[in-house]
Amino acid sequence: MVEHLWAGWRIPHMRSTREDASIPEGHTLFEAILGSGEPDEATFILWRGEHCFAILNAYPYCSGHLMVLPYRGVDALTDLEPDEYRELWDGVRDAVVAIEAAYEPDGVNVGANLGQGAGAGVPDHLHVHVLPRWVGDTNFTTAIADVRVMPETLSDSWLCIRDAWPVA
């Protein structure tokens, strides 16, 4: 008998790959989130610096998957001003500290997909992924069923990481 693994969160993600009319002209997805007026609990913004911020990935690879990015929608590291560049990497360091404190993983992945050809899902706004990893945390469901099993909600991940974020 074939088992069904339901991943109801996938359809909004698949639809979001189409042009999103709710993003104001001349703005990126992340700029629209920042300008939404919604509280951080609703947008899953974890940290706000002077030039950069951190936000949970709405379609995470695993629980705790977050991104650190500048407020400005730039698509290349070379487009960052020196203060933005420094704060971006300081934010990445703090994100690793928070993830290690919150989840006690076996390791942490840090990476940026620069440009659509490199796999960037939002190529017009540079962002650095930071996510916890555990030995043996991959399994057949992603390869066979195109499903990821998430052990906690985004709200729970947000609370866990926000509470572990280093205070400046």
Do 41 and 161 touch, CB atoms closer than 8 A? Answer: no
**Dihedral (Cα; 21, 23, 28, 32), 10-degree rounding:** -160
Q: 103: left (phi > 0), else alpha (psi -120 to 50), else beta?
A: alpha
Do 22 and 34 touch, CB atoms closer than 8 A? Answer: no
| Element at 162 (helix H, strand E) | helix 154-164
Distance CA 62, CA 100 (A): 14
Half-sphere exposure of 140 (CA within 13 A, CB side): 2
**Residue 127 bears catalytic tag:** yes
CA distances from 36 to 13, 40, 119, 152 (A): 19, 10, 26, 25
Q: Which of 51, 125, 127, 129 is catalytic?
A: 127
Please give the positions annotated as active site.
127
